[in-house]
């Protein structure tokens, strides 16, 4: 028998033992899957309100068993709920007939417990469970991770997030932090007069960004649709309609590769402000992210540390405002050694970098060189401003030099975190830009959004627009160096030999 077979057989033996205990629990007349359990108090709150010397204190908690120590007629259990852990003390004398149930409990079981609140000799705040104070709420039939020290295998953690969340407390904290960051952004924008809206996730035209879409089909209408790659064009229709400050925290989809920074389904904040421009969006971006750092970043270093900032892998990020603002052309010259107008030198640099530049548009080659030479140098927050206009079909060109657009991208920790424009609201110019953009797209998705052009003809106010990648922002603020650590259910390759889910042995 191989080592892998031994492990599998061992797990099977442990699960059979759990099934046997399940049967014994049923023989006691106890429903192993419980029911409604009112009045449970978060463990953290119980520990916070505890007062030494007060022998009248009571507590009632519910959660999962993460540690269990049996000592003859005494059992100590560590219970974990959404807030913290708390110790339960169970004695044969106090529990009476329920002692039989206590002896059948195992790691992973979900229980409710009520009793007197006190401290052990070691100073541990403990709920001493009383008779009729123990309730089995859900029997765990699978063996938890070894010694309950956490689920360590990375691939297994992502595939079994339902175990990862309670086996690894730091994972739960990261996702709680994610929710808090999104809530902070939402509350901030609403305080500034922005209105939260919703736009279609299935669209007849793949627009708003240059990316490969996912295609689906509406049976009743016999119509091919695209999962949105961006909500941009619908949000700007709302500007035309008179909604002057709007935002959407949206799910978007791009049919592209997987990497540490990319997931095909991702969360993005997109907002628009009438009568603003990309400078207003830079100010707003600083405010939003600085607020999140101040309120929700756990890894801010002490102020006296000269490298004060946020830890991200081996990097230390200084979020002190104001953030650097540098033009695309300046950075290309600094790191690639090329003047932005010298396309011959840029193509030579592209070849030296091993880029396949023949047949590429000049602007695309320039951007490939920029990505290869500049982006990994941008650790501290840096606004890269004034992109080549050819790369920005939805942005307004600079009045001082029409070769460049009023666009910025924010880079932090070598990643693009935000993208913003002074929005183009000239329908004739937008129409021409769409024609140019469509020539570079696949025939199957080559469609102009004429309805959006019609909307512009009714008049869209001058505006600034901003998109912030929520997943990447959470990565930076929680120190997670892969996007899969901040997405509850990331897309994964199927296992080569996936065995079917086990059928419950008790037949229920």
Q: What are φ and ψ of residue 120, in 5° steps? A: -85, 175
The pLDDT assigned to 495 comes to 75
Bigger pLDDT: 460 vs 359:
460
Q: How far is the C-alpha of 156 from the C-alpha of 451, rounded, in Å?
A: 46
State the pLDDT confidence band at 493, using cuts at 50, 70 and 90: confident
Q: Tell how many helices (H) and how many strands (E) occur in the chain.
A: 15, 18
pLDDT at 404 over 90: yes
The pLDDT assigned to 352 comes to 95
State the pLDDT confidence band at 305, using cuts at 50, 70 and 90: very low
pLDDT at 364 over 50: yes
Mean pLDDT of the chain: 90
The pLDDT assigned to 152 comes to 67
The pLDDT assigned to 11 comes to 66
Bigger pLDDT: 287 vs 441:
287
pLDDT at 229 over 80: yes
The pLDDT assigned to 307 comes to 45
The pLDDT assigned to 309 comes to 77
Beta strand 125-138 with 85-91 is: parallel
The pLDDT assigned to 6 comes to 44
Average pLDDT over residues 259-287: 96
Average pLDDT over residues 324-349: 97
**Exposed, middle or buried: residue 381 (CB in 10 Å: 0-12, 13-18, 19+)?**
buried
**What is the arrangement of strands in the sheet containing 215-218, beginning at the earlier edge strand?**
202-203, 223-227, 215-218
The pLDDT assigned to 146 comes to 63
Establish whether domains 3-144 and 167-323+380-485 are of one fold.
Answer: no
Q: How far is the C-alpha of 349 from the C-alpha of 367, rounded, in Å?
A: 12
What is the chain's Cα-based Rg?
29
pLDDT at 508 over 80: no
The pLDDT assigned to 448 comes to 83
Q: Please give the model's pTM, rounded to 2 decimal places.
A: 0.89
105-125 per-position pLDDT tens digit? 999 999 999 999 999 999 999
> In percent, how much of the chain has pLDDT > 70?
90
pLDDT at 71 over 50: yes
CATH for the 3-144 domain, from 1.10.357.10, 1.10.3720.10, 2.40.50.140, 2.40.30.10: 2.40.50.140
**Exposed, middle or buried: residue 19 (CB in 10 Å: 0-12, 13-18, 19+)?**
middle
Name the token pair of 383. Answer: 């606004």
State the pLDDT confidence band at 303, using cuts at 50, 70 and 90: very low
pLDDT at 4 over 70: no
State the pLDDT confidence band at 431, using cuts at 50, 70 and 90: very high
Name the token pair of 329. Answer: 């052309």
CATH number of 167-323+380-485: 3.30.930.10
The pLDDT assigned to 180 comes to 96
Give yes or no for a contact between 266 and 227, defined as CB atoms under 8 angstroms apart: no
The pLDDT assigned to 498 comes to 47
> In percent, how much of the chain has pLDDT > 90?
77
* Domain residue ranges in the chain: 3-144, 167-323+380-485
State the pLDDT confidence band at 428, using cuts at 50, 70 and 90: very high
The pLDDT assigned to 436 comes to 84
Q: How far is the C-alpha of 40 from the C-alpha of 61, rounded, in Å?
A: 5
The pLDDT assigned to 357 comes to 85
pLDDT at 345 over 50: yes
Strands, E, within 202-284: which ranges? 202-203, 215-218, 223-227, 245-253, 265-274
142-190 per-position pLDDT tens digit? 988 764 445 667 888 888 999 999 888 999 999 999 999 999 999 999 9
Give the helix/strand (H/E) hosting 194. none
pLDDT at 363 over 50: yes
Average pLDDT over residues 251-261: 90
Q: How far is the C-alpha of 418 from the C-alpha of 294, rounded, in Å?
A: 19
Average pLDDT over residues 294-316: 69
Bigger pLDDT: 407 vs 500:
407
Any bridge partners for residue 376, and if so which? none
Torsion sign across C-alpha atoms 457, 460, 464, 470:
negative
State the pLDDT confidence band at 437, using cuts at 50, 70 and 90: confident
Angle CA 238–397–235, to nearest 5: 15
The pLDDT assigned to 204 comes to 87
pLDDT at 306 over 60: no
């Amino acid at each position: 028998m191989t080592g892998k077979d031994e492990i599998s057989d061992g797990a099977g033996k442990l699960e059979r033992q759990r099934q046997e205990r399940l049967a014994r629990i049923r023989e006691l007349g106890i429903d192993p899957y419980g029911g409604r359990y009112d009045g449970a108090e978060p463990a953290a709150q119980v520990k916070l309100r505890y007062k030494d010397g007060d022998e009248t204190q009571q507590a009632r908690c519910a959660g999962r068993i993460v540690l269990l120590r049996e000592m003859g007629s005494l059992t100590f259990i560590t219970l974990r709920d959404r807030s913290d852990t708390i110790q339960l003390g169970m004695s044969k004398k106090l529990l009476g007939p329920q002692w039989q149930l206590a002896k059948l409990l195992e790691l992973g079981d979900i229980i409710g417990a009520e009793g007197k609140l006190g401290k052990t000799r070691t100073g541990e705040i403990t709920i001493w469970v009383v008779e009729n104070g123990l309730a089995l709420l859900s029997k765990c039939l699978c063996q938890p991770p070894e010694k309950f020290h956490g689920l360590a295998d990375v691939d297994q953690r992502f595939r079994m997030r339902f175990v990862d969340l309670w086996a690894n407390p730091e994972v739960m904290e990261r996702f709680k932090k994610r929710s808090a960051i999104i809530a902070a952004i939402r509350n901030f924008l609403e305080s500034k007069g922005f209105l939260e809206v919703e736009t279609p996730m299935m669209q007849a035209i793949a627009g708003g960004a240059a990316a490969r879409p996912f295609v689906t089909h509406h049976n009743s209408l016999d119509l091919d649709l695209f999962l949105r790659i961006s909500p941009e064009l619908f949000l700007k229709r709302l500007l035309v309609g008179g909604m002057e400050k709007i935002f959407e925290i949206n799910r978007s989809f791009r049919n592209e590769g997987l990497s540490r920074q990319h997931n095909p389904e991702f969360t993005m904040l997109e907002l628009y402000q009438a009568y603003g421009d990309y400078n207003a969006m830079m100010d707003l971006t600083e405010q939003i992210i600085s607020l999140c750092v101040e309120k929700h970043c756990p890894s801010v270093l002490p102020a006296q540390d000269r490298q004060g900032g946020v830890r991200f892998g081996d990097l230390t990020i200084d979020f002190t405002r104001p953030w650097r603002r540098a033009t695309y052309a300046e950075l290309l010259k600094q790191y690639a050694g090329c003047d932005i107008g010298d396309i011959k030198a840029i193509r030579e640099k592209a070849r030296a970098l091993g880029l396949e530049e023949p047949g590429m548009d000049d602007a695309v080659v320039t951007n490939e060189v920029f990505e290869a030479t500049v982006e990994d140098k941008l650790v501290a927050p840096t606004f890269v401003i004034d992109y080549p206009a050819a790369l920005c079909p939805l942005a307004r060109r600079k009045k001082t030099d029409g070769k460049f657009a009023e666009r910025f991208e924010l880079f932090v920790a070598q990643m693009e975190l935000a993208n913003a424009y002074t929005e183009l609201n000239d329908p004739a110019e937008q129409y021409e830009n769409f024609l140019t953009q469509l020539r570079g797209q696949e025939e199957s998705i080559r469609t102009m959004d004429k309805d959006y052009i019609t909307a512009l003809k009714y008049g869209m106010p001058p505006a600034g627009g901003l998109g912030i990648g929520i997943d990447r922002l959470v990565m930076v603020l929680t120190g997670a160096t892969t996007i899969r650590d901040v997405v509850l259910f990331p897309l994964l390759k199927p296992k080569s030999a996936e065995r079917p889910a086990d059928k419950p042995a008790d037949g229920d």
